Amino acid sequence: MLISNAECLELKPDHSLSLSYQDVRIEQNIIVAVGALEPRYGESVLDATGAALLPGLHDHHVHFASYAAALRSVACGPPTVHSEKDLIEQLNLAAGGHGWLRGINYHESVAGDIDRYWLDRYGPKRPIRIQHRSGRLWILNSNALEVIRNSPPDKLSREHHARLDTEDGRLYDVDNFLWELTGDSPLSVAAASQNLASFGVTGINDMTPSNNVSTCNWFVEMQAKAALRQKVRLSGSRELSEVTGSVGGKLKIGECKLHLHESDLPDFYDLCRVIRDSHDENRAVAVHCVTEAALVFALAALQDSGIRSGDRIEHASVVSPATLELLCETGLGVVTQPNFVLERGDTYLNEIPEHEHAWLYRCRTLLQNSVPLAFGTDLPFGHPDPWIAMQAATRRQTSSGRSLGEDETLTPESALAGFLGELDNPAEPRSITVGEPADLCLLKSPWHIARLELSSSDVRATILDGEKIYDSQLFSC
C-alpha cells in the first residue's frame, strides 16, 4: 500500500513539531519507505490529500473487557445519571429484559451507599449487579445473590460461599469470581475494538489488576478471532509473570499492577517485597495512586526496593509541591487521565479542599519538571475517546465549563504526545519511520486545522500492521 501526499507528523522529545510532506510505502506490516515515491504497478494507493498522518494512538491505561461489557450495560453514574430519581428511571428502563442486568459507573453522589435492599426496593425484578466507578465494588440485589448461590456446586467453592456471605450485597474485588459464576455478559468485543479503531487507536495497555493467565488466554483468543484488532500489552497480577515475553504476535505481558488504597494500605515491607519479587521476575511495576498519601507511600516503597526501568505511577491524581520533589527524585514516569478533569472535575471542585485543586491530574508541571508523562483514558471508567482526553488536557475545563488547574494546560502537541508512545515506553512519541510497524492514524485535515478541535471525527482511517481497520468513508470495514 502507498499512502501518498501525507503530512507526516513528528514530535521531538520536547514536543516541538516537525511536519513534512511524504509518501509512505507499506509492505506487509512494516513501513518500508518514506519520501517522494511513485506508485508501483498494481499497488493500492490511499491519497491523504495533504492531511496529517500520525503513528496509531496508544491508550496506556484501559480495562478492555469491562469496556466490552459496558457496551451492554446500564450507566448508573455521572455524566449520565446524577440523582436517585435518574437511577431508578434508568434501571427500570431495563425492566422488560431478562437475565442479568449489569449497571456500571455508580458513584455515591447519585444515591449514597446503595445496597441490596435499595436495589430490591427500586430496581426491576431481575438479577442486578452494579459496579462502582472505582471498579472494585459490586452491589448485588437479592435475586442476583440467589442466582449465584444456586450456581452448580462444581463452580461454587467454599471460598466463593464465604465471599458471598454478605448481608448488604456489597462485594469487593470479586471481578473474576463474578465473571466465572455468571458466565453472562455477552461481551461486545468486536464493537469495542471497532470503536477504538474509529478513534485511531492501534494499541492498548490493559491495566486491570486481576488480569491473570486465563484473562491472557481470553485476549489471545479474541485477537485470533479478529474480534479484538488492537495490539495489547497485558498488565495485571503477579501470576502473569508465568507467561513470558510475547504470547501471541500482538500481545505482550506488561507491568505488575499494584493497587494502593488509602483506607487499606498494605504493610510497607510487604509492598517492598512484592516490588522486588516482580523485578526479580523481570517485570516492572505500575502502582495505582489516586491520593497524596498513596503516592508518598508508593514512592517511598519504590525507593526502598530499588527502581527499575519501566516502573511507573498510574493516575498520580494528587501531586502536592512536596511530593512533586520526591517524584522527580525517583525519575518514575506517570500515566494519568486529563479526561477526568472534564468528566469528574465538577465533583472534585465540590468535594476536594480548594488548596488541592491545583494539584489534581497535573500535566504541564510534570513535563516542566521532566517527569516522563503519558495518558490513558481508563476506559470504561473514563470516556474511551482519547481525543476527548487531549482536548481536556488543552482546555482544563469541567463539563459545566468551570476551570480546573488552568496552570496545567498543554499544547495540542503535548496532549497528542501522551498517546503516541510505545506501549512499553509510553512517554516517548513514536514517529513514522522506515522499519517501524505500519500502525497509523490518518486524519481528514492538516495538523494546523486538526489541532484546533482535537476531535475523533477528524480521523479518516486507522491502519494496523498495514491493514486498514477503520475507514470513515465506509463507516467501518
Residues near Zn ion, by CB under 5 A: 378
Task: Report which DSSP code applies to 384.
Answer: S
- Least distance (Å) between residue 232 CB and Zn ion: 15
Q: Which is nearer to Zn ion, 51 or 69 (CB)?
A: 69
Q: Report, in angstroms and rounded to the nearest whole number, the Rg of the chain calculated over CA atoms.
A: 23
For the residues of 8-43, what is the DSSP string, one character each? EEEE-TT--EEEEEEEEEEETTEEEEEES-PPPTT-
Helices (H), 32-136: 64-70, 84-92, 108-111, 116-122
Residues of 143-155 as b/e, b for ≥16 C-beta within 10 angstroms?
A: bbbebbeeeeeee
Closest CA to 66 of 97, 99, 104, 100: 104
Report the nearest approach of Zn ion to the CB of residue 259 (Å). 9
Contact, 331 vs 346, CB < 8 A? no
Given a contact cutoff of 8 angstroms between Cβ atoms, the answer to whether 360 and 431 are in contact is no
Q: Which is nearer to Zn ion, 311 or 378 (CB)?
A: 378
Q: What is the smallest separation between the CB atom of 286 and Zn ion, expressed in angstroms?
A: 10
Specify the DSSP element, H or E, that contains 339: helix 339-351
Comparison of 100 and 381: residue with beta carbon closer to Zn ion: 381
Please identify, using beta-carbon distances, which residue of 123 and 135 lies nearer to Zn ion.
Answer: 135
In the complex, least distance from residue 61 CB atom to Zn ion, rounded to whole angstroms: 6
- Cβ 126 vs Cβ 153: under 8 Å: no
Cβ atoms of 201 and 59 within 8 Å: the answer is yes
Return the number of the residue (118 or 381) whose C-beta is nearest Zn ion: 381
- Could you say which DSSP state residue 133 is in? T
- Residue 343, C-beta contacts closer than 8 angstroms, at least 6 positions apart: 78, 79, 382, 383, 392, 399
Nearest distance from residue 268's CB to Zn ion, in Å? Answer: 23
* Nearest distance from C-beta of residue 391 to Zn ion, angstroms: 20
395: left (phi over 0), alpha (psi -120 to 50) or beta: alpha
Minimum CB–partner distance for residue 378 and Zn ion (Å): 4
Task: Output DSSP code: residue 79.
Answer: T
Please, what is the Cα angle at 466 between 218 and 249, to 5 degrees? 30
Q: Rank residues 64 and 447 by Cβ distance to Zn ion and give the closer one.
A: 64
Residue 328: Cβ within 10 Å count:
13
The answer to whether 52 touches 445, Cβ cutoff 8 Å, is: yes
Nearer to Zn ion, 124 or 380 (CB): 380
Distance of closest approach, residue 205 Cβ to Zn ion, in angstroms: 10
Least distance in Å: CB of 267 to Zn ion? 24
* Residues pairing with 57 in the sheet: 201
Please choose, from the candidates 441, 438, 395, the residue with its C-alpha nearest in 3D space to the C-alpha of residue 420.
441
Residue with the closest Cβ to Zn ion? 378
Taking the complex as a whole, how short is the minimal distance between the CB of residue 237 and Zn ion, in angstroms? 14
CB-based contact 169:145 (threshold 8 Å)? yes
Backbone angles phi, psi at 433, to 5 degrees: -135, 145
Query: Cβ closer to Zn ion: 378 or 408?
Result: 378
Instruction: Select 207 or 302, whichever has its Cβ closest to Zn ion.
Output: 207
Select 423 or 463, whichever has its Cβ closest to Zn ion: 423
Q: Which is nearer to Zn ion, 255 or 378 (CB)?
A: 378
> Residue 101 Cβ, how far from Zn ion at the closest point, in Å?
24
